[in-house]
Structure 1
């Protein structure tokens, strides 16, 4: 849960980003309200404003290698704007929402194209993201995998809540497949800083959750 103070800070940062595109606050506020409503929906246990806040902290740490910080921050805001645990096209629809909401308020089409490309990359299906900002976005999105053990455990539990409609055996099998896919990758993180600081811890967290999923008790359904 994000405190009112943190939400106010996020709102100020949002206005600051859009000022770079000469978007007036009167036009920026309604879009912000739409995004906040999406990320605070009842079914959002992990893919919420806390997740965005953690991503923004990663971007701040990697600021020295970011090429287009404003476009990157907008991509973060929109990357999970559409999130339906039953759907397979959330990234595409999130990109479409960015087009629908950012175009009318004056964000340049070239910037929106860049934002949409980054959003689509968060499907984590490409082997090697080309752009540096895309690499930063993906590392920020996956930073939770390298979190401290307690935070990772809460993340794993929250993901289970978002899939509470899936029977336990099916969830364990599907979640294990996701974890194994990450573990099979040559590296989880693209940027040097994230790789050095989080790669080993991320793999340890993934192996720990996988072992729990494969144990006789596994993860109980909610």
Structure 2
């Protein structure tokens, strides 16, 4: 089984990074450290591994899967549950571009990975963006989990937002779920949508009813 540092090194090499293996491994281990910060209960290394697994599974849907893999590594590199708006995504995108540039990735690649990271703020992609669509679909894959795993996910999210009073949390979470349910489709790629869309909508509706 490939370790996380090995997976990062392979993706970075595939995307054109020229840094030494030692530097790539150091960057990977630093990122793993970020993903294991104490404020993370859902947005942790388990989430990272799950997103990478989905990207690998559906890599054939993306023209540049290694860029998507790097964006998966970096999309929550900065994560503060108390941050406002899309500050985490903006900061993660900026961090991604700087890190990849320091690892010798071509400027175009570093900028594109940063763009992909920024998409996770609202999971909205434009037309003809299969790389962005795969990243967003992978990031939202938890929504189609089985019932037990979905309940663990919602519990972990609540722990991340323990600083938010119950009423405020229920209101904010309900708005997020409603926005997702109002989308024409939660998942962008037809192959993924066919497998996960119905299950995700069932989970979201059940959670929304519970919050109400």
TM-score strictly above 0.5 = yes
Q: How many residues align?
A: 208
2-structure distance, mates of 1:152, 1:129? 30
CA contact (8 A) 2:43 2:76 kept: yes
Deviation at 1:18, TM superposition (A): 2.3
Per-residue displacement from partner, 1:34-58 (whole Å, max 9, x unpaired)?
2111100111100011111111121
5 Å matches for 1:22-61? Answer: 22-61=18-57
Q: Give secondary structure in 1 for the equivalent of 2:117.
A: helix
- Paired residue secondary structure (2:25): helix
Deviation at 1:19, TM superposition (A): 2.7
**Alignment gaps of 5+ in structure 2:** none
- The question of whether the paired residues in 2 share the 8 Å contact of 1:129 and 1:135 is answered with no
Q: Is residue 2:196 matched to residue 1:204?
A: no
2:111 counterpart residue number: 113
Residues 121, 129 of structure 1: 8 Å contact kept:
no
The answer to whether residue 151 in structure 2 is matched with residue 153 in structure 1 is yes
What SS class does the counterpart of residue 186 from structure 1 fall into?
coil
In the TM superposition, residue 129 of structure 1 has moved relative to its aligned partner by: 5.5
Moved more, 55-64 or 174-183: 55-64
Q: Is there any run of 5+ residues in structure 1 with no aligned partner, and where?
A: 1-5, 215-222
- 2:10 maps to 1:12: no
Deviates more, 1:64-73 or 1:150-159: 64-73
Report the alpha carbon displacement of residue 176 of structure 1 after superposing the two structures with TM: 0.4
Point out the more displaced range, 70-79 or 25-34: 25-34
Maintained 8 Å contact 2:48/2:73: yes
The 2-side partners of 1:29 and 1:153 are apart by 34
CA distance, structure 1, for counterparts of residue 123 and residue 26 of structure 2: 32
* Partner SS for 1:103: helix
**Equivalent position of 2:167 in the other structure:** 169
